[in-house]
Structure 1
Amino acid sequence: MTGGASGIGLATVRRFVAEGANVVFCDLSPEQGREVAAALGDAGKLHHRRRAEGGPNDGVTIAATLGGRSIFVAADVTDQTSLEHVFATATEVFGGLDILVNNAGVGGGEGPIESTPRSLFDRTMAVNLLGPWLGIKLAFPLLRARGGGSIVNTASVSALVGMPGQGAYGASKAGVLQLTRVAAIEGASDFIRVNAVCPGGVLTPIIYDSPIFESGFDPALVDQGLAGAQPLPRACKPEDVADAILWLASDESSFVTGQSINVDGGLTIEFDSRYRTKSNFQR
């Protein structure tokens, strides 16, 4: 599991452990987050500098609370050597790899294309698209050795519709969907399934505590705002996406590959949001 220390990733780690899985998850440590942010210049605002050692998004602390079924490895998914260490840990400690969840992601509100720095575009593509590509590349031989397995990639509804201010983010997530389809074809003969989830707006730190902004927002207010963003009148929670990932990772979806599931409360099938009543937005 990549990007497992917050939001959808953290909810998925917890869900898998609760189901009895052994989980190796990676993310930037709080110290790495600050270091990467400082080194990247304009693109550094994509990475958290407010996360503290011992806090709720510190992978070491998370693993300690979950017990022996989970191991945290600090890693940058854009660095192949760093990511190789994550996979090596899984094989050395737990004997092999059966499931990969490519979840690490950044961005989502970089602003208009014409005013977005090239460095921010490059980093967004590196984390959101190169990261899953590297994950698949490293996972395939390990899954093949186990007789097959499942890969689940986290994409976004931004891959499906044109959202202003998300040129880099939307393009990277659209790339994830095509990567999913290609990998599914390449892995099929070895019983390696590759699928994706496309969340809508989810009540996670990437929204209410986005590093793009100098300070975060009240999660309760964001929850209220997200409740009116799609036909189902409540905010999507990380656990909603984790449940979809769990199904795609499990044998219950053993004949499903190359697909994407929209976990968006109906957002992408709605003809015109103006048809919804005002009361929907106030629930």
Structure 2
Amino acid sequence: MHFTADTVIVITGSSRGLGLEFVKHFLEYTDSKVVATARSLSKADALRTLVTQYSKRLHTVALDTSEESSIEASVKEISALHSGIDLLINNAGIEEGVDPIWETTGATYSNVLKVNVVGVFLTTKAFLPLLRKKQSRTIVQLSSIFASTSFNRKGTENNPAATKLIAYNSSKAALNMQTSVFANALNEEDFCIIAINPGWNETEMGGPIAKKLGMGHAPLKPQESAAKMVNVMKKLTPKNSGEFLDLEKGDKIDY
């Protein structure tokens, strides 16, 4: 897809981490319009600073992807700002704990699935009418290499999370299937919906997980990851719809 002055981008979970870096990247390196959403705008200090600098191109909207009413309200608010959107980046997600599987509770598992799978599903479905009003019709789902069953089966030698993060890993695997189903359903409308591996980032979520798994720190900086993923997005066409791609060169990853 192409990023022009007419391009409208909606990014969920934009108050920090990868979401915030996406916002910064699009504002600095493109002329596109950005709608940055966050669960709590009152805590989004970095976004407020960016709004003062890019007031004509950046809007912030409250959106809690775990609440259907919040999703619906955000769509209504964004509809008043823009007649349609070109790109939806489903970035918002959570991870709760790095416990062994036998110590993971049902409540933890359910909450992670609610946000990372159900929340993304409801968000995507709610924004389809706005996406249909533009030609780009692109949806990018932030998945994880940990979603890959093939990668997980290689064991802990290559994957320190192979026996842990069961809620997070399986939520991202479900997200990949969701991506595939949406791609099939929207195939005749020239949509492009893909899942992408953002790498392991030194964010408020990724950094502590790396430490708990004995890695010291995560290997990637979020600004680096965001830039690489945007480069992949630039090459997307409807032919890519349904694929699970890596951030480095956009290569396909085995589900």
Same-fold status (TM-score > 0.5): yes
CA distance in 1: counterparts of 2:111 and 2:242, whole angstroms: 26
- The unaligned stretches of length 5 or more in structure 2 are 1-10, 153-161
Secondary structure of 2:31's match? coil
Distance 1:187 1:201, change over 3 A: same
Q: For residue 197 of structure 1, what is the aligned residue in structure 2?
A: 196
Secondary structure of 2:36's match? strand
Larger Rg over CA atoms: 1
Query: Which of 36, 39, 44 is equivalent to 1:28?
Result: 39
Correspondence 1:113 to 2:119: no
In percent, how many aligned pairs have the same letter?
Answer: 26
Query: Which of 225, 237, 261 is equivalent to 2:245?
Result: 261
What do you get for the CA RMSD once the two structures are aligned?
2.8
- Specify the code of the residue in structure 1 equivalent to 2:20: L
Q: For residue 166 of structure 2, what is the aligned residue in structure 1?
A: 167
Q: How far is 1:247 from its partner?
A: 3.8
Secondary structure of 1:236's match? coil
CA distance in 1: counterparts of 2:129 and 2:64, whole angstroms: 21
Query: Which of 7, 15, 18 is equivalent to 1:5?
Result: 15
Residues 202-233 of structure 1: per-residue CA shift (max 9 Å, x gap): 111113367xxxxxx8xxxx8x743xxxxxxx
Q: For residue 42 of structure 1, what is the aligned residue in structure 2?
A: none
Secondary structure of 2:205's match? helix
Residues 69-90 of structure 1: per-residue CA shift (max 9 Å, x gap): 1111222101122012222232
CA distance in 2: counterparts of 1:124 and 1:256, whole angstroms: 28
Q: How far is 1:141 from its partner?
A: 2.2
Correspondence 1:156 to 2:129: no
Q: Is the 8 A contact 1:197 1:241 kept in 2?
A: no
Q: Which moved more, 1:116-125 or 1:142-151?
A: 142-151
Distance 1:75 1:209, change over 3 A: farther
Alignment of 1:260-279 (within 5 A): 260-263=244-247
**For this pair of structures, how many residues does the alignment match?**
226
Q: Which moved more, 1:100-109 or 1:252-261?
A: 252-261
Distance 1:244 1:180, change over 3 A: farther
Q: Report the TM-score, using the length of structure 1 for normalisation.
A: 0.71
- Specify the code of the residue in structure 2 equivalent to 1:110: V
- Specify the code of the residue in structure 2 equivalent to 1:25: A
Q: Is the 8 A contact 2:141 2:194 kept in 1?
A: yes
CA distance in 1: counterparts of 2:124 and 2:172, whole angstroms: 15
Q: For residue 85 of structure 2, what is the aligned residue in structure 1?
A: 97
- Specify the code of the residue in structure 2 equivalent to 1:14: K
CA distance in 1: counterparts of 2:79 and 2:73, whole angstroms: 10
- The unaligned stretches of length 5 or more in structure 1 are 32-52, 211-216, 227-234, 270-283
Distance 1:11 1:181, change over 3 A: same
Q: How far is 1:63 from its partner?
A: 3.3
Residues 137-172 of structure 1: per-residue CA shift (max 9 Å, x gap): 112222223245100000011101332221100000
Q: Is the 8 A contact 1:180 1:194 kept in 2?
A: yes
Alignment of 1:172-251 (within 5 A): 172-208=171-207, 225-226=217-218, 235-250=219-234
CA distance in 2: counterparts of 1:17 and 1:90, whole angstroms: 18
Q: Report the TM-score, using the length of structure 2 for normalisation.
A: 0.78
Secondary structure of 1:205's match? coil
Q: For residue 273 of structure 1, what is the aligned residue in structure 2?
A: none
CA distance in 2: counterparts of 1:23 and 1:156, whole angstroms: 24
CA distance in 1: counterparts of 2:96 and 2:176, whole angstroms: 16
